[in-house]
Amino acid sequence: MQMPDVAAPTAPVAARQKVKLLIWDLDETVWHGTLLEDEKVRLRDKVQQVLQVLDSRGILNSIASRNEHDLAMAKLREFGIDEFFIYPEINWNSKSSNIAGIVKQVNIGMDAVAFIDDQNFEREEVESSLPEVLTLDASELDGLIERPEFTPRFITEESAQRRKMYLADAARNRAEVEFAGPQEEFLASLQMKFAIRRAREADLQRAEELTVRTHQLNTTGRTYSYDELAQLSVSDDHLLLVSSLEDKWGTYGTIGLALVHMTREAWIIKLLLMSCRVMARGVGTIMINHILQKARDAGCRVFAEFKPTDRNRMMLITYKMTGFKEIQREEGTILFDNTFQTDCCFPHYVQVELDKDE
């Protein structure tokens, strides 16, 4: 079946990649001096400003430092900057192993990570073990916030809340480790509410940000600009949906997006993505099942495009779990068909809230 065209996507994801996480060394990087030799180290000029600016842009900060953990954390508290750093690794392990551990907890791609250190040896060790990481000399701190890698196109309200959302995630994860019952009972205990709505003007900056920042749970890797999304949101033959999630710990923010091209006979899912922060929350099929139900009610078949990468296998599994079958493969893109052989139901442990337009 010949599928109709849709608005052309903008540049490939790789060309738009931005830093999502900056990992700092401490001695002679965050502060002047070596803490174990002199406890009266001095905070470097502009460190606090850089932390505040990056935090407001939604760029996370962490630490990979060879130091005594308690002593270093006490010094960070003394400087009033400890709250900026999530998942700090302060120990005597290699910098690359600590960076890998931080990135695993944050759950982002390694190519969205930067590391700043004054020691050439440490930077080379990281470059050798983790070549995707952007390494920076501490002397580059002064111009860091002007670099394009650290300058997102939009800074949304959710950007400024990103660190707090990750801290809430950490609290959830601790609660999960301590929970003694089955996984579904834990998920039910979170009291999750998953909301789906048509994208409005106020959603478009975050929608663009999601297409640019989300690489793992992304079916095609396409990016769309604000202007393209604005046109699609009011198009009669397109459905642009966004989803948000909250639970008893707080909000996850806007975490999902779907773009559907609608014809009289068929709906084609051109893009489906979800923030990696909700990967373990069992909500990955909700948006798809909502689209399937709406298409079924409209009497239309549902197709979906999928472009495999080395990071989005989970989305392939999600499509297969919801009854999609491969019918065509051309130029690296797979076309799936869904014949409604599976139930379009939502997980019992999530309350799904639909906008009145939905």
Provide the CATH number for the domain around residue 232.
3.40.630.30
Q: 141-148 long-range CB contacts below 8 Å, 24 or more apart?
A: 141/29, 141/44, 141/46, 141/47, 141/50, 141/116, 142/46, 144/50, 144/116, 145/49, 145/50, 145/53, 145/54
- Whether residues 197 and 329 share a domain: the answer is yes
Domain boundary among 105, 133, 150: 150
Question: In terms of domains, do 146 and 216 share one?
Answer: no
- Whether the predicted pLDDT of 65 surpasses 60: yes
Q: What's the pLDDT score for residue 10?
A: 41
Residue 9 forms part of a structural domain: no
Same domain, 306 and 188: yes
The SS3 call for residue 273 is strand
pLDDT for 269 equals 97
331 shares a domain with 262:
yes
Query: Which residues, at least 6 apart from 45, have a Cβ–Cβ distance to it below 8 Å?
Result: none
Do 222 and 125 share a structural domain?
no
**Do 143 and 206 lie in a common domain?**
no
Residue 160 or residue 8, greater confidence: 160
Is the model's pLDDT at 178 over the cut of 60?
yes
Does 280 lie in the same domain as 135?
A: no
Measured in residues, the chain has a length of 358
Please report whether residue 296 resides in a domain. yes
Residue 314 has pLDDT above 80, yes or no: yes
In a domain, 173, yes or no: no
Q: Please tell me the total count of domains within the chain.
A: 2
Domain boundary among 127, 150, 173: 150
Assign residue 32 the CATH number of its domain. 3.40.50.1000
CA angle 207, 328, 302 (to 5 degrees): 50
Residue 161 inside a domain? The answer is no
Q: What does the pLDDT look like over 132-165, one tens digit per residue?
A: 999 999 999 999 999 999 998 878 888 888 999 9
* Residue 213 pLDDT grade (very low, low, confident, very high; cuts 50, 70, 90): confident
Same domain for 192 and 99: no
- Partners of 241 in the beta sheet? 198, 258
**Would 308 be classed as within a structural domain?**
yes
- Give the Å distances, CA to CA, from 204 to 159, 162, 195, 257: 14, 18, 16, 11
With a cut of 90, say whether residue 48 has pLDDT above it. yes
Q: Are residues 119 and 192 in the same domain?
A: no
Average pLDDT, the chain: 91
CA distance 140 to 251: 35
Judge if 105 and 210 occupy the same domain.
no
Domain coverage including residue 124: 19-150
358 pLDDT tier (thresholds 50, 70, 90):
low
Can you tell me the mean pLDDT for 184-208?
94
Q: Are residues 115 and 220 in the same domain?
A: no
pLDDT of residue 214: 84
In a domain, 65, yes or no: yes
- Same domain, yes or no: 224 and 344: yes
